[in-house]
Structure 1
Amino acid sequence: MLQNKAISILIKLIIAQRYLAINSLILALFTSILEGISTPFVMLILQELGGGLFNISQIPIIIKNIVELYATFPKSWHLLILFVTLLSLTIIKNIFLYFSNININNLQLKVGFLLRKVCIERFLKLEVSFYNRSNIGTLLSFVNEQAQRSEILSSQVIEIIREMLMIFILLVVLIGLSPELTIISVISLLVISLLFKAVLNSVRIYGRKAANSIDEFSSFITELLSGIRVIKSFKSEFRELERADKYLTNRYVAELGAFKYNSAIVPLTETAGIILLLLLLGVGSSVVSATGGGGLPLLLTYTYTLLRIIPRINHLNSLRSQLALLSGSLEVIHDFLSSTDELHLPDGQKPYRGLTSGINFENVSFTFAANSEPTLKNISFPVKKGTITALIGSSGSGKSTLADLVMRFHDPDSGRIKIDGIDLREYQIASWRNAIAMVSQETFLFHTSIRENIAYGCPDATKLEIIEAAKKAYAYEFIQELPEGFDTIVGDRGARLSGGQRQRIAIARAILRDPDILILDEATSALDSNSERIVQRAIEEVSRDRTVIVIAHRLSTIEKADKIIVMYNGRVAEQGTHEELLALHSEYWSLYKSQVSVKEQIIQST
């Protein structure tokens, strides 16, 4: 019904909410006991309505005790006492049942909350390299549909225990009424359970297929929505609709297969129950013949109690089927959590307290998991405190990868990055990253206000500090022109702002953070000339008195850098100042001349 890996994580989730689970079970126990106690009163009422003829020697001991108790009252009160007692027991039982249901639903919601939180904590713990090779749609499904299906399992486990308690108590009553008929009932129920085992196995198999199809469909939808501009520009709507049809069909087939088996549970159980009931009525009729009319109330009560059990067995089998159907989702989440348990960089012990001398790259090499060739090969150069170091080179030369190593998104395969002579891996990741700000070409803004985006790295910043940072980033003027000023919502990824405006907000965010080290990853390459000039002035403002690493495409923006590192095919080809590199008449000289020539051609053509 449930695989071991699904059981292990489900038990942990339920134990985390053990008080709710225990309360639910205690309430379920009281409900079951009251259910069992109230059942004999049905026989007594039937007996009273039939004239009150009892053969004391033939009735069960529990009913005999009740008879002796209420027989002390006047006979005219007997029926009223039985009615009031049965009604009172039923009301109290259903009050317990109500609170039991509340606790079970509360447990389900708490487990869902905890499961989503565990997944989100893992998302935040995993390093950037994991996301470079993962599909966001699949990850989203863990906290959406898969978690929603998984949380239901917790309530179903408690419901199964509750139904089993109910059935057990009612079986005790049945044994008290007629041990012979109960033996026949139990044997029949065991046979029925064995017949359903194959059906439940099929439900579990299709449930896992359904869970996998949900992952695939979520991945497709995320990709479709993320690439909607590309899809429309290439008029590929029909092709994407065909892909959608394929994923939807796979999901439909998997879920339909699961529901076909799942839907067979209740009809089969009910049919088996009716067969059992008819069998018992046939056997039980001999009791009536042997005892005369006095045995009729017992047979009717036994049948009534059995009819109370059969729907619970139906529900129990339905719950078991649902458990098999939904367990696939919990298995998928378990696989994700177990497979990513060790996929994070080891944290250092030393707190970072500020740069005193500089950063030094010593024979640094790095290879991405998906590549066979190293992206960086024996990189060595120093970055002195308070200087501007520029990284240039063709696309794929390793510039951004080097910046990611500084951010400690990855660790080198070999070699070391030393901070004031200490290996970067010895520093606490949080304290190190708190001292760095990065402004990249693809600026990411959250779907919140401009104020919140600027203060993202410093959530306790005052209003005046945010305004001052905006002024230094040359963003204050355009912010004031917006309808809601600093309270303007920027839209998804900052879609309501222009590229230059987004960059200036990102620079204001970096200025407010007041970092020791600033990384500028082609921060102006995607801007028009007017926006570039404004952003460049903002960059000069944020770069003042800091250690800056600039990744540049346009060489005109880094001519004043203290050192320029020319990278080629993952190696350092040249390094020096602008003038020194031009004098070499080599790689940098060729790049610079080619950009000057292009610029002259553009000027001449205009």
Structure 2
Amino acid sequence: MTDLHMGPPMGRPARIDPADRAQLAESPVGFSRVAALFRPYGRQLTLVIVMIVATSVVSLAQPFLVREVIDVAIPGQRVGLLVTLVAAMIGIAAAVQLIGVLQTWISSSVGQHVMHDLRTSVFNHLQKQSLGFFTRTRGGEVQSRLVNDVAGMQSVVTTTATSIASNATTAVATTIAMVALSPRLSLLSLVVLPPAIWLTRQVALIRRDITGKLQRTMAEMHGHVEESLSISGVRLSKTLGATGAGAAKFEDISERLIDLELRSQLSGRWRMATMQIIFAAIPAVIYLVAGLPGLGEPMTIGTLIAFTGLQSQIFRPLMGLMNVGSQWVSSMALFSRIFGYLDLRPEVPAPEHPVRIDRSRVEGRVRFEDVGFRYAGADQPTLAGIDLEIAPGSTLALVGETGSGKSTLASLVARLNDPTTGRVTIDGIDVRDLAAADLAALVGVVSQETYLVHDTIRANLLLARPGAPEQELWQALATARIADLVAGLPEGLDTVVGARGFRFSGGEQQRLAIARTILRNPPILVLDEATSALDNETEREVQAGLDRLASGRTTLTIAHRLSTIRDADQIAVLADGRVVEQGTHDELVARGGAYADLLAPALVLPA
């Protein structure tokens, strides 16, 4: 029998992790929902169970073959019988292993397919969540559920589910064979096995507790190393003179690891020693009982050897069955965490019946009609009673103090959030009624936080329009005023962009993002402080690219430097989530209100 058939290692504890129990108490998981994941693979799983049972049944023949070899074939010098029995033993072993390999392949295949289904379902569902969800949720938590928790699901097939069938059939088959060989010695085994199982379980529980502490300490060490020896961590510790404190903390963690490692090695050692004594005593007692006169019919040597072999094998499946409960709870806890994400209701749901829109006929008129917005859990609304209109091909600039709601209002156009009240329309169509792909084709966004995927410049541009010819890529780069830089790189468009574009300066990243948006050619443009993180010279270069990008498009722009929006067709001043002023630059300056107050720190704007 393979390890897979025999279930988990006998040292694995049977205690249920309190964290798993708490997870299930918070988010119960119905068995029918789990079973639904495996329903498409019912035939394969049935075949796995049949193979497990067949393996256990076929293995029953081995001890009887051993008995015949020792009691009949060898003493009687019956070479023909001996060859037949040995060939049968080898054939059975080969058949068991072959079935085991096939069973492992099928069960692993089912597990991998179920994990694939879960991974893609969770990934696709998470993509439907709003930006608010990712703001509230740690990135590591999302990755852990998507990768680690889903990977843990395979144990349901390859361990938990199959161990029930394999360990049960193995235990039953072994017991039957033992009784068939010697009912008297079988009764003795029933007396000896319980204390051995109990001792093993106690050792496993002790080791589990220490292993848990060891894993947490190791995680603490890894976290400290990652924080302290990263570029940012080293810079921080050097500038604050905290290198000594960091080294002391690392030394403390390392010393705790020494203690835990020693305890892990020595934990339960006396119990394990006692158990080994019992294991050594079991066959000795069996030999004693078999040899005592007056306790029944004399037992042959072959029967005794076959029986002791079976008796030593029955312990493992029994321990596996004891562990099924904890394994099942652990698996259900993982399902609970994954289903928790699948059950999230998107704050920005896709329309049930999306309105189809002909892009060639889009004018690009954007309206905010009595728009209000409140973030989840916030006491006060971020936006209230916003009524604005951007005429086709014109520019509306949003200005105001930090926290006035400018970026939130701009995010509603691309439907990164949905208004709590009112609506946002494009050519009279509520953006909530447009399919995500259609809306993305209509609205292009350039923000201050440019994101470039770790791939080539070409691949980054083609995200906007897959299949675009190379000539159009260069045209987009030229419009964004970065074509000369890219052409001067050794690999041109095939230059790899580092994570978050770290191989390029901030201004170069912005111009690549502008080129990507130009390639998409959206009729509506949202510019959310696209130059806020740049120096003056770089800002002028990027702003020139933005001006060329905005030409002829309906544009909503937010700028931290008011000098960049003085030529906007309309300027709306926001304060506390409301529009307090609206007009052209000259009109608002002449009015001497909130806009003029915002201009005051700048003293003089360039003509």
Q: TM-score range by the shorter chain?
A: 0.7 to 0.9
In the other structure, the counterpart of 2:297 is 291
Judge conservation of contact 2:464–2:516 (CA < 8 Å) in 1. Answer: yes
Q: Residue 136 of structure 1: CA displacement?
A: 1.3
Q: Structure 2 vs 1, CA of residues 17 and 397 (structure 1 numbering), >3 Å: closer, same or farther?
A: same
Where structure 2 has 5 or more consecutive residues not aligned to the other structure, the ranges are 1-13
1:384 positional shift: 2.1
Deviations 1:464-508 (A, max 9, x none): 221221122112111001111111111110111111111111011
Which of the numbers 448, 452, 470 marks the counterpart of 2:455?
A: 448
In 1, the alpha carbon distance for the partners of 2:419 and 2:206 equals 48
Tell me how far apart the structure 1 counterparts of residues 263 and 442 of structure 2 sit (CA, whole Å).
55
Distance of 1:443 and 1:555 partners within structure 2: 21
User: How far apart in 2 are the matches of 1:544 and 1:122?
Assistant: 36
**Residue aligning to 1:67:** none
Aligned mates of 1:399, 1:291 — CA distance in 2 = 95
What's the CA shift for 1:337? 3.5
Look up the match of 1:604: none
* Pairing partner for 2:395 from 371, 385, 388: 388
Cα distance, 1:453–1:369 mapped onto 2, change above 3 Å: same
- Per the alignment, in what secondary structure is the counterpart of residue 560 of structure 1? coil
Question: What is the correspondence of 1:454-465 to structure 2 with a 5 Å cutoff?
Answer: 454-465=461-472
> Where does residue 592 of structure 1 map in the other structure?
599
Which of 147, 154, 158 is residue 157 of structure 2 equivalent to?
154
Matched, 1:438 2:445: yes
Q: Aligned partners of 1:366, 1:266: CA distance in 2, in Å?
A: 64
CA spacing shift, 1:143–1:421, aligned 2, 3 Å: closer
TM-score by length of 2: 0.81
Return the letter of the residue paired with 1:342: L
- For this pair of structures, how many residues does the alignment match? 575
Question: Given that residues 442 and 522 in structure 2 are in contact (C-alpha distance below 8 angstroms), is that contact kept between their aligned partners in structure 1?
Answer: yes
Distance change in 2, residues 1:339/1:145 (3 Å) = closer
Cα separation, partners in 2 of 1:396 and 1:549, compared to 1, 3 Å: same
Check whether the contact 1:364–1:378 (CA below 8 A) recurs between aligned residues. Answer: yes
Cα pair 1:147 1:329 within 8 Å, conserved: no
Displacement of 1:442 in angstroms is: 1.4
Whether the 8 Å contact between 2:63 and 2:307 is mirrored in structure 1 is no
Q: Displacement of 1:581 after TM fit?
A: 1.0
RMSD (Å) for aligned C-alpha atoms: 4.1
CA distance in 1, matches of 2:219, 2:483: 44
Per-residue deviation at 1:400?
0.7
CA 1:156–1:25: 2 relative to 1, 3 Å: same
Using the aligned pairs only, state the percent identity: 27
Residue 268 and residue 11 in structure 1: after superposition, are their counterparts in 2 closer, same or farther (change >3 A)? farther
1:570 aligns with 2:574: no
> How far off is 1:412 after superposition?
2.0
Paired with 2:278 and 2:433, the residues of 1 have a C-alpha distance of: 68
1:366–1:374 Cα contact (<8 Å) kept: yes
Deviates more, 1:269-278 or 1:542-551: 269-278
CA contact (8 A) 1:269 1:313 kept: no
CA contact (8 A) 2:122 2:341 kept: no
Greater mean alpha carbon deviation, residues 181-190 or residues 398-407: 181-190
Q: How does 1:218-297 map to 2 (within 5 A)?
A: 228=233, 231=236, 234-235=239-240, 273-274=279-280, 276-286=282-292, 290-292=296-298, 295-297=300-302
TM-score normalised according to structure 1 size = 0.81
- The C-alpha deviation readout for 1:186-218, integer Å capped at 9, x for no partner, is 465467667777777888888998999999999
After superposition, give the CA deviation of every residue in 1:282-304 in whole Å (9 maximum; x if it has no partner): 44445886334x54432332222
Identify the residue that residue 75 of structure 2 maps to in structure 1. 51
| Preserved CA contact (<8 Å) 1:146 1:330 | no
| Conserved? CA contact 2:413–2:443, under 8 Å | no
Specify whether residues 506 and 129 from structure 1 end up closer, same or farther in structure 2 by C-alpha distance, changes over 3 A only: same
2:531 to 521, 524, 528: 524
Match of 1:309 in 2: 314
Unaligned runs of 5+ in 1: 53-73, 601-606
AA matched with 1:291: E
Aligned to 1:26: 50
5 Å matches for 1:356-435?
356=363, 358-369=365-376, 371-435=378-442
**Which residue is 2:98 aligned to?**
95
1:425–1:105: structure 2 CA closer, same or farther, 3 Å change rule? closer
Q: Secondary structure at the match of 2:580?
A: strand
Post-superposition CA distance 1:129-180 (Å, at most 9, x none): 0111111122223344445555445322224532332222222212222334
Greater Cα offset, 41-50 or 548-557: 41-50
What is the CA–CA distance in structure 2 between the aligned matches of 1:469 and 1:34, rounded to whole Å? 70
User: 3-state DSSP class of the match of 1:580?
Assistant: helix
Counterpart CA distance in 2 for 1:270 and 1:109 is: 39
Q: Which amino acid aligns with 2:166?
A: R
* CA distance 1:544–1:12, change in 2 (3 Å): same
8 Å CA contact 2:396–2:572 kept in 1: the answer is yes
* Deviation for aligned residue 1:93: 2.2
Picking from 451, 471, 487, the partner of 1:480 is 487
Whole-Å separation in 2 of the counterparts to 1:217 and 1:407: 43
1:335 pairs, out of 331, 337, 346, with 337
Conserved? CA contact 2:364–2:523, under 8 Å: no
Asked which structure has the greater RCO (Cα within 8 Å, sep 6+), the reply is 2
